[in-house]
A and B are shown apart, each in its own frame.
Chain A
């Protein structure tokens, strides 16, 4: 195909392209504000509602992590037992980086006394924190996490881009009040004779950055005056990969973070296949039993002397 015989003048093209660019900028600003307003009204749903509900929970004990943090911790039962507001703030497929951001957002409203970090390795593609992008520019920790890469900074300059992938979940859950509890029970059970086993979950892509982020999470919690504990959730053979686990062990040891392995090997009451929905997740009955163990553990942690708060880094210091 040829473009001989030009029909558009340079002035027409320049005017059209300039007009198009200006309209884009104006629409981005306008639609961005509209999306901000809608986002604030979403209280339900995994992608947006879970985050908004965690922020507004005013939790004293905040559970962070991925799907096991979402499906294993019955926060209503924990709240009843402990007399403290507990919120299960796990979000499917999210890991340490996302948890750092969520902790900062929650603490900006009400700093928790204890952070229970359910260990996982879900940061493989490092896009898991993108869920926090509606808060870009509002919170320094979230902004720091998202603006790490120049490509992301360019994209996030668009206000609307901060809602990339979130429009439909927002529209379908708009106008819903925040969830009181984050816990999501799972139905189903493995057969009673199902043997535990299988390969550990993959931890490919893990590098020094992972441990750096983990240390930062511990420091962030302590700077907020909160204690932090690591918990390894029980699985029926689906433990996290050995390199990720080694990183958790190392950070826990070096930073004096209590690390509780609530695995079936150490908790005989959880060593029954029927308590598991699949290799990685407990069902509701399993979660109920697990929650009792967690309640003991939280009580024990809160009874310990308060940790020394870590000083906030000086402005301009590397994060």
Chain B
């Protein structure tokens, strides 16, 4: 059985799929909608490789069963045992598919330092798309039931919560009390839902296919062959990567929110102009919000959060950010990326200053924060620590700027995106446009569609965050 590419939101295959889903959704009564949504979600995931549906079902059914058992007993020992079952299965699946080879390889490297070179077996398993997203989403439910923060729901309800296709492959990571509550009650799709949904889908598509996909070749060319590029080219590629990853991931998230809206369902926003953050704490309130709040609620707070002072609080911060790095991938580069953000956060805590609210100082703070984040992106983008070191050394290398004429295609779209981000902050685009005159929405819509048609990259690239 051949494994195809995942059905990405920016493909015409997905448009056909979505139109069919919306048509049936409109036609069916509430119960029928729920069954159809689950079937469509499973089809959506199975489009990539139906065999991996087993993992999705394993994670969801384990949590449904564990939560039901936890909810049905007051015996603390049993409750804890079922929680452990859920954590073991979810983290076991993650560990097996995502981390096992990494740890085995790292152990081999460590032994190598002592002159030992054992032949350690590697599994070379394919990482299922969206694994980290759906296991975290599913596992959080069991933890919440254990903490008595949410009620037990049917297996069917939990399954359609975990598999809900707009958020299945790359989030936002949803919570029971937000998404499932909407899935469980009859929904009304208003005209405004559709209007706002279309705005977000178009904006997300624009960021993905025009900006992210057009920046990718330059970044890949430079990072793929750092030795032959000058410092100025490497620096430019790093700046462009910052925008590539933002537009790729936030574009996907905006589309996910917009698609859910077309069904009258609200999904949490994942991004809020993160590069306009004035300090690192604010950055994490604006970047991948559903992950940062997940880590806060399920790792940071259980460790004691910020209520403990001194070394313990610092430890908690570092643990959370190292986990955040490791969540992204099984590589030391992600660990360093997470560690760097942890260190930034510690420095921010020690300084304890409020960020400037306006004026030149505000813009200086934004620039400083952006460059802190930018430095960490080098480790995120590099394949290995050695590669990251090569990139850092190359930054000082003299030489001409690597010129790619195709990069010109992205100049105007990038300016437009940055301008809109500054103008709309702190609102989301749909909210901001609703407060403007109708012609502003119309003009922006026409411009965005024109840029998509004229400059969308020919080769539809997969979303970066599918691999996490």
Q: Which residues of A contact B (CB under 8 A)?
A: 1-3, 6-14, 16-17, 19-20, 23-24, 27-28, 31, 125, 127, 130, 150-151, 154-155, 158, 160-161, 163-165, 167-169
B384 in the interface (beta carbon within 8 A): no
Instruction: From B196, B266, B442, B449, name the one whose CB has the most chain A CB atoms within 10 angstroms.
Output: B449
21 contacts across the A-B interface (CB closer than 8 A): A2-B266, A3-B193, A6-B192, A7-B434, A8-B434, A10-B191, A20-B442, A24-B449, A27-B446, A127-B458, A127-B459, A130-B458, A150-B12, A160-B450, A160-B453, A160-B454, A161-B454, A164-B455, A165-B458, A167-B454, A167-B455
User: Nearest chain A CB to B213's CB is how many angstroms away?
Assistant: 11
> Is the Cβ of B442 less than 8 Å from the Cβ of A164?
no
Known: A17-B198, A125-B459. A1 touches B428 (CB 8 A): yes
In the assembled complex, which residues on chain B have CB atoms less than 8 Å from the CB atom of A27? Answer: 446, 450
In the assembled complex, which residues on chain A have CB atoms less than 8 Å from the CB atom of B194? Answer: 13, 17
> Is the Cβ of A154 less than 8 Å from the Cβ of B458?
no
> Is the Cβ of B428 less than 8 Å from the Cβ of A6?
no
User: Nearest chain B CB to A211's CB is how many angstroms away?
Assistant: 21
> Is the Cβ of A19 less than 8 Å from the Cβ of B190?
no
User: Nearest chain A CB to B196's CB is how many angstroms away?
Assistant: 6
Count of A-B contacts judged by CB separation below 8 Å: 83
In the assembled complex, which residues on chain B have CB atoms less than 8 Å from the CB atom of A12? Answer: 191
Closest to B195 in A: A13
Q: Compute how far the CA of A20 lies from the CA of B195 in the bound complex, rounded to whole angstroms.
A: 12
B108 in the interface (beta carbon within 8 A): no
> Is the Cβ of A168 less than 8 Å from the Cβ of B409?
yes
B438 in the interface (beta carbon within 8 A): yes
User: Nearest chain A CB to B256's CB is how many angstroms away?
Assistant: 14
Q: Given contacts A27-B446, A127-B459, A161-B453, could you give 16 more A-B pairs where the C-beta distance is less than 8 Å?
A: A1-B269, A1-B431, A3-B192, A3-B193, A6-B190, A8-B191, A16-B438, A17-B195, A27-B450, A28-B453, A31-B450, A151-B13, A164-B454, A164-B455, A167-B455, A168-B405
In the assembled complex, which residues on chain A have CB atoms less than 8 Å from the CB atom of B11? Answer: 151
User: Nearest chain B CB to A286's CB is how many angstroms away?
Assistant: 23
Q: Which residues of B contact A (CB under 8 A)?
A: 11-13, 190-196, 198, 261, 266, 269, 405-406, 408-409, 428, 431, 434, 438, 441-442, 445-446, 449-450, 453-456, 458-459
In the assembled complex, which residues on chain A have CB atoms less than 8 Å from the CB atom of B13? Answer: 151
In the assembled complex, which residues on chain A have CB atoms less than 8 Å from the CB atom of B441? Answer: 16
> Is the Cβ of A23 less than 8 Å from the Cβ of B454?
no
Closest to B15 in A: A154
Instruction: From A8, A27, A127, A130, name the one whose CB has the most chain B CB atoms within 10 angstroms.
Output: A8
Known: A1-B266, A130-B458, A160-B453. A13 touches B409 (CB 8 A): no
User: Nearest chain B CB to A11's CB is how many angstroms away?
Assistant: 8
Q: Compute how far the CA of A154 lies from the CA of B405 in the bound complex, rounded to whole angstroms.
A: 28
In the assembled complex, which residues on chain B have CB atoms less than 8 Å from the CB atom of A130? Answer: 458
Q: Which 9 A-B pairs have the closest CB atoms?
A: A13-B191, A10-B191, A127-B458, A151-B12, A6-B192, A13-B195, A8-B192, A161-B453, A160-B453
In the assembled complex, which residues on chain A have CB atoms less than 8 Å from the CB atom of B428? Answer: 1
Q: Compute how far the CA of A8 lies from the CA of B441 in the bound complex, rounded to whole angstroms.
A: 14
In the assembled complex, which residues on chain B have CB atoms less than 8 Å from the CB atom of A125? Answer: 458-459
> Is the Cβ of B458 less than 8 Å from the Cβ of A20?
no
Q: Compute how far the CA of A316 lies from the CA of B54 in the bound complex, rounded to whole angstroms.
A: 46
Q: Compute how far the CA of A155 lies from the CA of B453 in the bound complex, rounded to whole angstroms.
A: 9
The answer, among A9, A24, A150, for a CB contact under 8 Å with B191, is A9
Closest to A160 in B: B453
In the assembled complex, which residues on chain A have CB atoms less than 8 Å from the CB atom of B408? Answer: 168
> Is the Cβ of B190 less than 8 Å from the Cβ of A3?
yes
User: Nearest chain A CB to B457's CB is how many angstroms away?
Assistant: 8
